[in-house]
Chains A and B, each alone.
Chain A
Amino acid sequence: MKTPHIILVDDDEVINLVHREVIKRIVPDAIIDVFRSGPQLIDYLTQHAAVPVDYLFLDIRMPEMDGFEVLTKLKTIERPDVKLAKIYVLSSTLDERDLSKAKSDDWVDDFIGKPLSFQTIQNLLITV
C-alpha cells in the first residue's frame, strides 16, 4: 500500500495533535499536513503542487472561513487529486443543519463526529 497523504484542517491545535497521533499509531508512515484555517489550506493547495492528497479531514466551525466555504473554494481549484481525495467532515457540532448540509454535498464522503477514534481510522485507511 502506498503511503497516504493526509490533510487535517482544524483551528483547534489540541485536537489536531490528537488526530495526528491517532493516525500515526494506525498508519505510521502516513504523510500528515495540518492547517489551522481554510485560507492556509487553499494557499498550500494552490502554491505547493507537491504530493497528491488522499484524505482530507475538514472541520466545520472555524473562524475566517467555515468548512462549507472551504469546500466551495476547493471545487474551484484545478487539482484532480483533490477531486479524487476522500473528504470527511469532522466536527463536534450537534446542529442538524450542519449534518444534513455535509451529507448532501457530493464532495463529502462522510460526516464523522470528533474525536477520530482508532476504530474509525482503521476502517477508513486500512480496509481501503
Chain B
Amino acid sequence: MGESLTYEALKERYQELQLRVTRFSATEQELINTRDRLDHELELYKRLHRYNELATKAARLDGYYQVMTEALVDVFDLESAMILMVDLKDNHAKLYSESIHIEGREELVQQDLKHLSQVFPSGQTQHLKLESFGGLSALNVCFEGLFFHQNLPEFQTEVFLVGAVSITKAPLYNQILDRHHTIFKVFVQQFLAGLSTRIRGEEVERQLEQIKASQAELRKLSLIATKTKNGVIISDAYGRVEWVNEAFTNISGFSLAEIKGKKPKEFLQGEHTSDFDRQLLKDALWNKKDVELTLVNYTKEGLPYYNQLEIISVFDDEGHHTNFIALQKDITSEIKIQQEMLRMNSRFEMITEKSMIGVWELEWPDMRIDWSDLLWEIYGVDRSSTTNRNELWRSVLHPDDKEDVLGRLRQMMEGEVGVVHDEYRIIRANDQQVRTVECLTIAERDERGSLIRLVGSVKDVTDLKQSQNSILIQNEELKKINLELDNFVYSISHDLRSPLLSIKGILSLLMYDNQLTEDGKRFLSMADVSIGRLDGTIQEILEYSRNSRLNLKPEIFNLEEMVQNVFDDLKFSTVDPIALFIHVEGVAEVFLDRARVNVLLKNIIGNSVKYKRPETDAEIRVHIINDPQRVTIEIADNGEGIAEEHVQRIFEMFFRGTSNSVGTGLGLYICKEIVNKMNGTIEVLSKKNEGTQMVISLPQ
C-alpha cells in the first residue's frame, strides 16, 4: 500500500470533491438551463418561421397584417397584440388586433400608440415595462410589452406594433426576457421586409389594374369615337389634327390623310362662317376652355353645312394641356326644318290674316290667352283694354247665344270631345253690330287625356251668311219659276191639244157614220193626218223644252218592257203588220233617265213604223247590250232607209228627208239633243230601200 492519508487530508479532499460536485452540478444545471433556453428560443424561431410561412401565403396586405398580429401574440407568448397602419396620404388608419376587444375603443388605442411613438424613437424595438412608460389605458394598463413604430415615407405609411400583457393577467405569463427582445428585432425586420414586398406588390397590382381599366376605357372610347355618327377630331395641343373618325369624313368629305397636321379652321371655315363664331372659337382654344357653338362649315366640295361643335380640352395627370377633342354634328337638316317651320308659321299667319280668320290659344290650366291681331278686330275690342281676354270674349257674346256657347265649351273641356264646330252671334264691341261668327275649337290633351290647351279659329261669316241666304232665296225663286214654267208649258200644250183632240173625235164620228162622198172621206182623212201632225209637233216641242230644261233623273227600269210598250202603242197607228224582235244581253233593268229614254224610243221606233216598206214583211230588231257602265241600244229596221246624201243631216233641226215624210223635222233633232244631254252617242247606218240601223250608247 502506498501512502496513507490522514483523516484531515481525506476530509479536505472530500470537501474539495464535494465542492467540485457542487460546481459540476451547478454547471450541469447551467447547461440544462442553457439547453432549455436554447430549446425555447428554437421553439420561438420555429414559431416565427411558421408564421413567416403563413404570412408569405397571405397574398393581400390586409391578410398579412392580420397574420402578423396573431404571430406577435403566439411567438412571444403575450396576452394580446395590435398593429396600426396609418396611410399618410389621407391619414386613414387601420387597426388589427388579436386577443383583445377594441371595438369602440379604436380612437383610444390610436391615442395610446401615438403617445408611445412620441416617447420612443422611430425605428427602434422597445421592451416596455410598466415603470418605464406608465402603462396604456386601452390595454387595461399594460404590465409589460414589446413596441415598435416606424415612419415609412417610401410607402407613405406609418406602422405601429405592440404586444403586451396586462397587469391582471401578468402572473400567468412568462416575463419578457431580453432574449425575447432579440427575436422581436428579428420579427420586426422580417415584418418590415414582408410589408415592403406586399406594398410594392399591391402597388404593382393596382397599377396593372389601372392599366387594364384604362386600356378597356380606351378601347370603349375609341370604339365610340369610331362608331358614333357624330364627327370626332382629335388634335394636339396646337390644334393640329391627329385623328378623325369615319363620321367626320362622311360629313366633311376630308379623309385623315388629307388633313393630318392641319388646323381645322384652315379647311372647314369659309365665306359664310361668321366672324363672331370664328372669334368665339379662337378665344376658347387660346384659353383652353371647353366650348359649344353652331357655325357654318364647308365640306371638301365647298358645300356649306351647319356644324354643331363641341370642343373639349384634354389635360394629362400633371395638368399639362395635351389635346383638343372636337365633336361635330351636321345639323343642316334640323336647321332647315327649323327654318321651314318658321316659314310655314309665317305663311300660316299670313293665310289666317288674308282669309280673315282670327286665331286664339288658351294654355290650361293657367288660362294664359293669346289673340291674333285679327281677332281683336273681329270682336271690335280696343287693344289697349286691360280686361282679361276671357272676360272680353264673354262680354261680346250675344245674350241669347251665350248660355249655349259656354255650355258647349264646358262640355268640350270636361268631356272627350276633341273638336267643336260652332256658330253663334256676337255683339261687336266698337259698333254694337250683331255679327255671326263661325268657330272651330280644338282641345289638345296629353297622353293621360288631361287638357293642355285649347286652340281656336274665329271667322266673321255675317256677310257670307247674308249672301248665302240671298242665294238660297234666289235659288228657291228659280225653282218656283222653273216649276211655273213647267206648268205653263203643260197647260199650253194641254190647251192646244184639247180642241185638236175634239176635232179628231168629231172626225172619227163622221168617218164612223160613213155618210160621206168619196171626196168627203178623202178630205176627212187628210184633215185627220194634219191633226196628227199638229199634235206631234206640239208633243215634240214639249219634249224639246223638257229636255233642255230639266236635269237628268236616272232611275231603274226594265228597258225591254219599255221597248215593247212603245212598240205596242205605235203599231195601232198603222194598218200594215209589223213585227218586233228584242234581244237583250245582260239584265233588262237599266239605270237611266226613264222619260228621256222613252222619248228616244218613241221617235226612233216611230220612224221605223212610219217608214216601213209595205211590199216587205216589215220588222224591227232591237238589240240591247247592258254593261254595268254603258247601255247600247241597236234599233234596226228593213224599211225605206235614208238616201246617202241625207244620212249626215238627219239630226239637224227641221230637216226632213223626203217630201212624203210626215214629221216636223224635230224628232231626230230632239233625239240627238237628249243623247247629248245624257253624255251618250247616237249613230246611224242606213241604205236606201234596205233599212236603217240606229245605235244609241248611253253611260249609266
> CB within 8 Å of B: which residues of A?
12, 14-15, 18-19, 21-22, 25, 61, 91-96, 114-119
Contacts and interface: CB of A to CB of B under 8 A. Distances in A.
Interface of B: 490-491, 493-494, 497-499, 501-502, 504-506, 508-509, 512-513, 538-539, 542, 572, 595
Nearest to A26: B512
A22 B502 contact: no
B542 A114 contact: no
Given A15-B502, A22-B509, A117-B508, 18 more contacts: A14-B506, A15-B505, A18-B506, A19-B505, A22-B512, A25-B509, A25-B513, A61-B491, A61-B494, A92-B498, A94-B490, A94-B493, A94-B497, A114-B498, A115-B502, A115-B505, A118-B508, A118-B512
Contact of A96 (B493, B508, B513, B595): B595
Given A18-B502, A94-B542, A115 B508 contact: yes
Contacts of B595: 96
Contacts of A117: 508
Given A15-B501, A92-B501, A114-B501, A21 B494 contact: no
Contact of A22 (B490, B493, B505): B505
Contacts of B542: 94
Most chain A CB within a 10 A radius of its CB, from B504, B506, B508: B508
19 contacts: A15-B501, A15-B502, A15-B505, A18-B502, A18-B505, A19-B505, A21-B509, A22-B505, A25-B513, A61-B491, A61-B494, A94-B490, A94-B493, A114-B505, A115-B505, A115-B508, A117-B508, A118-B508, A119-B572
Nearest to B594: A96
Contacts of B493: 94
A22 B499 contact: no
Contacts of A94: 490, 493-494, 497, 538-539, 542
A89 B493 CA distance: 18
Nearest to B511: A118
B494 A22 contact: no
A102 B539 CA distance: 20
A114 to B, nearest CB: 4
Contacts of B499: 14
Contacts of A119: 572
B490 A95 contact: yes
A19 B504 CA distance: 11
A92 B494 contact: yes
Contacts of B502: 12, 14-15, 18, 115
Most chain A CB within a 10 A radius of its CB, from B498, B504, B513: B498
A92 B505 contact: no
A21 B490 CA distance: 28
Nearest to B542: A94
A93 B494 contact: yes
A93 B505 contact: no
B494 A25 contact: no
A108 to B, nearest CB: 18
A1 to B, nearest CB: 21
A15 B505 CA distance: 8
B136 to A, nearest CB: 130
A112 to B, nearest CB: 12
Contacts of B501: 15, 92, 114-115
A34 B499 CA distance: 18
A14 to B, nearest CB: 4
Contacts of A118: 508, 512
B497 A92 contact: yes
Contacts of B506: 14, 18
Nearest to B598: A96
A70 B498 CA distance: 20
B417 to A, nearest CB: 47
Nearest to B506: A18
Contact of B508 (A22, A92, A93, A95): A22
A128 B471 CA distance: 58
A66 B560 CA distance: 34
Given A94-B539, A114-B505, A15 B512 contact: no
A17 to B, nearest CB: 8
Contacts of B508: 22, 115, 117-118
B478 to A, nearest CB: 19
A14 B506 CA distance: 9
Contact of B504 (A12, A91, A115): A115
Contacts of A114: 497-498, 501, 505
A93 B490 contact: yes
A25 B512 contact: yes
A27 B490 CA distance: 34
A90 B451 CA distance: 72
A91 B494 CA distance: 9
Nearest to B513: A25
A22 B507 CA distance: 11
Nearest to B498: A92
A18 B501 CA distance: 10
A115 B510 CA distance: 14
B505 A12 contact: no
A82 B251 CA distance: 101
A67 to B, nearest CB: 12
B490 A15 contact: no
Contacts of A95: 490, 494
B490 A116 contact: no
A18 B509 contact: yes
Contacts of B491: 61
A95 B539 CA distance: 10
Contacts of A93: 490, 494
A14 B499 CA distance: 8
A14 B149 CA distance: 156
A56 B506 CA distance: 21
A116 to B, nearest CB: 7
A106 to B, nearest CB: 21
Most chain B CB within a 10 A radius of its CB, from A15, A21, A22, A94: A94
A60 B512 CA distance: 27
Nearest to A114: B501
Contacts of A12: 498, 502
Nearest to B543: A94
A21 B513 CA distance: 11
Contacts of A91: 494
Contacts of A22: 505, 508-509, 512
A114 B538 CA distance: 15
A116 B505 contact: yes
Nearest to A24: B509
Contacts of A116: 505
Leading 8 A-B pairs by shortest Cβ distance: A115-B505, A18-B505, A92-B497, A14-B502, A95-B490, A114-B501, A15-B502, A115-B501
Contacts of B538: 94
Contacts of B494: 61, 91-95
Most chain A CB within a 10 A radius of its CB, from B497, B501, B513: B501
Given A22-B505, A96-B595, A115-B504, A15 B498 contact: yes
